[in-house]
Structure 1
Amino acid sequence: MDVGLKRELEEKVRAGERLTREDGIALYESDDLAWLGGLAHEVRTRKNGDVVHFNVNRHLNMTNVCTASCAYCSFQRKPGEKDAYTMRIEEAVRLAKAMENENLTELHIVNGLHPNLPWRYYPRSLSELKKALPNVSLKAFTATEIHHFETISGLSASEILDELIEAGLESLTGGGAEIFDWEVRQHIVDHRTHWEDWSRIHRLAHSKGLKTPSTMLYGHIEEPRHRVDHVLRLRELQDETGGFQVFIPLRYQHDFVDMKDGKVRNRLQARTQMATGAEALKTFAVSRLLFDNVPHVKVFWVMHGVQTAQLALQHGADDMDGSVVEYKITHDADNYGTPNKLTREDLLDLIRDAGFRPVERNTRYEVLREYEGPDRALRESPQPMRV
């Protein structure tokens, strides 16, 4: 990228002008990661100061039985297959109650698209979980699951959301987005929820007062232009509803063979390696610059590793997600040395070591507690960036 184009993009960003598709593609073509990260960090600081948000959450997957066989997924199992499971509601509640002493504020619930579970299982699950953990926010179900519920219940998405909200739902999850462009999507997704239905369901959730996350799965067969177009679709929907709280780039986890039975669960193996750390940081930076109307950008450390996650905080991200336990969706793939759990103290240390001030939040991004920031010596003598 020549100096003139850099200056033009800097001026647009600093003036608060909206970047175009062409601008986004040009940013991805830049090989000056330090410049790109610095520009994204300006925007991140303007929106969120020196704060990094986190929460204390746990993930609950009540069934891994799924009618779909998406090429990127290592989680799903077919009915009767070894390791397929479905929890009874009482079992899910018992498991959730066991987490009660960990001061969690959010339960994140995602499941497979089970062909035989009745619709009533889902609102009843939420209702019983809410009774057991009345002070814990329930973030549950992807738009893909809501679409599936329409099929098995005969109800509309509006009726489904009303019942789930009455049962205790406070937010949908952001999953099922992957990459919206059909050129890519047709090769990676094996269900029928695409942009039209994904956006319809999130638009409807926003109209009912739910705030939701938005996501993008990157680092597989897509190209930078697909990432740009994905973000621009979300940006346009955000202009309409204002309902997205956060954008979460998710790095594709590559080449998983189940050591228990030798099956290749994750079939999307167009690359021999995952996206590099540098590519991950570029994706965070461009996303922060393009998605100008979303308040937060989250780095999900489980899918990036803690070191890349710390660096992402200097490339546009301002949220480090939560402490997480037993995350199955990618850790049924390969964890690449990434832990399943970080304690609150671990997160505080990681955020401070990256040079930021930790703030604990709830699902609605309401501040629960502000912590001391990094010590003065660290702020005045930042550590060199390593990619």
Structure 2
Amino acid sequence: MSFESKSTRPRHSFQTDDKALLPIAAKVEAGERLSFEDGVALYRSGDILAVGWLANLVRERLHGNTAYFNVNRHINPTNVCVASCRLCAFGRKKGEAGTYTMALEEAWETAASGYSEAVTEFHIVGGLHPDLPFEYFMDLVRGLKERFPKVHIKAFTMVEVAFLAKRGKMTIAQTLERMKEAGVDSLPGGGAEIFADRIRHIICDHKIDGSEWLDTARTAHKIGLRSNATMLYGHVENDEDRVDHLLKLRAVQDETGGFQTFIPLAFHPDNTALAHIPRTTGMLDMKQIAVGRLMLDNFSHIKSYWQMVSPKMAQISLRFGADDIDGTVVEEKIYHDAGATTPQGMRRKDLVRLITEAGREPFERDTMYRAVTRSEDTFTVAV
């Protein structure tokens, strides 16, 4: 494959004490696709700066000095969930203390509250509620579209789509078509976790399996709904599991081209059944972003989700392969229930500062990575 360079900065030759990286560096510099064995070698390398240098090389070929962000809001309509995933601190069984389910009016009011700048995206995910009918979710989306016609609605993970299909006695394709008709513009990438069956049986055996997640994404892409893709790392998976996950995403992207961005998600163990597992280190966080950039040669964007890795590490990641640090979020619940200590939201000006102080050029985007221009309390999107 080849890249059109957007960077005019001079390059220095690659240097490392890890000889296993030398043939990989030759491939990267030539724009060649990396193998499973290359991915494992990257994860096992102790030379994080060399791995990061290679990832940054690819990142700057694609995006130059640009770093993307958006002004978005997360809406989690319910935390009631039939699943009992060991990785989760958000979901609650029906009738348990701490459960909530938003009435539609409450959800619409939440979308409009608590932030002074107009958002360009609503990011909607929640629990697998045993009683809420399919039409509740469609009415939620329709109501948002009526009230905020300019806002992109990114709603329902592959796991939620499969659950809603079962609840509505429809095929995956029929469910996605209904969602699209109601006003869903794209899908988030959550629920992918790790695709390997061995791992899913430990951390999330109540969810659809990896093949079903990929099939759902494939179907969404084929009917014109783009999506994100994620990987949850830092729990019980190994290097081979991570590479396998990346290659399966890469294969679907070869087929459909429908993934917008890849988002590595650091596992937060607090308040979960896996609370004995230590949190990820900065070394692993940066390596995951870098390896994702190097292995996913057909993904345009790699996102460093500041809520998961912290704003400071998100800054650093902009030199380790990431070109996007997500958005304002406003009120994040899922990872904070699992012990995240980052802010629940961030102002647009703070995201701009993070990017600028990292030596990158801020670019406010919409969900489809089109330029956003602001005037007072509204915005326009480049077509």
TM-score, with length taken from structure 1: 0.90
Summarize deviations over 1:264-323 as a string: whole Å, max 9, x none. xx111352x211001110111111101110000001100110111111111000000001
Name which of 118, 122, 129 aligns with 2:133.
118
Where 2:185 maps in the other structure, the secondary structure is strand
User: Shift of the alpha carbon at 1:5?
Assistant: 3.3
The alpha carbon displacement at 1:108 in A equals 0.4
Cα distance in 1 for partners of 2:167, 2:160 equals 10
Instruction: Provide the residue aligned with 1:70 in structure 2.
Output: 85
User: Is the 1:220–1:270 contact (alpha carbons within 8 Å) kept by the matching residues of 2?
Assistant: no
Q: Which residue of 2 aligns with 1:351?
A: 355
Q: Give 2:156's aligned amino acid.
A: F
C-alpha distance in 1 between matches for 2:140 and 2:174: 17
Determine if the alignment matches structure 1 residue 361 to structure 2 residue 365.
Answer: yes
1:260: which partner in 2?
A: none
1:99-178 → structure 2 map (5 Å cutoff)? 101-178=116-193
The aligned residue for residue 318 of structure 2 is 313
1:203·1:241 contact (CA, 8 Å) conserved in 2?
A: yes
Are residues 304 and 100 of structure 1, via their aligned partners in 2, closer, same or farther at CA, if it must alter by over 3 Å? closer
Q: 1:225-304 to 2 correspondence within 5 Å?
A: 225-256=240-271, 266-271=272-277, 273-304=278-309
Tell me what 1:186 maps to: 201
Q: Note the C-alpha offset of 1:143.
A: 0.5
Contact 1:221 1:270 in 2 (8 A): no
CA distance, structure 2, for counterparts of residue 331 and residue 251 of structure 1? 13
Shift of 1:364: 0.9
What is the match of residue 51 of structure 2? 36
Separation of aligned partners in 1, 2:78 and 2:345 = 21
Please tell me the residue identity of whatever aligns with 2:199.
V
Uncovered stretches (5+) of structure 2, i.e. residues with no partner: 1-15, 375-383
- CA deviation vs aligned residue, 1:349-386 (integer Å, no higher than 9, x gap): 0001111000000011111149xxxxxxxxxxxxxxxx
When structure 1 is superposed on structure 2, of 190-199 and 119-128 the one drifting more is 190-199
RMSD: 1.4
1:17 and 2:32 correspond: yes
Where 2:343 maps in the other structure, the secondary structure is coil
Q: How many angstroms apart in 1 are the aligned matches of 2:117 and 2:17?
A: 52
- Aligned mates of 2:86, 2:318 — CA distance in 1: 30
Structure 1 unaligned regions, length at least 5: 257-265, 371-387
Residue 374 (structure 1) aligns with: none
Provide the secondary structure at the position in 2 that maps to 1:124: helix
Which of 331, 336, 339 pairs up with 1:331? 336
| TM-score of the two chains, using structure 2 as the length reference | 0.91
Deviation at 1:156, TM superposition (A): 1.1
Q: Which moved more, 1:192-201 or 1:357-366?
A: 192-201
Task: Report the AA paired with residue 51 of structure 1.
Answer: T
How many Å separate the matches in 2 of 1:164 and 1:100?
Answer: 27
CA distance in 1, matches of 2:243, 2:267: 17
> C-alpha displacement at 1:6, in angstroms?
2.5
Query: In the TM superposition, what are the counterparts of 1:197-236 in structure 2 within 5 Å?
Result: 197-236=212-251
- Number of residues paired by the alignment? 359
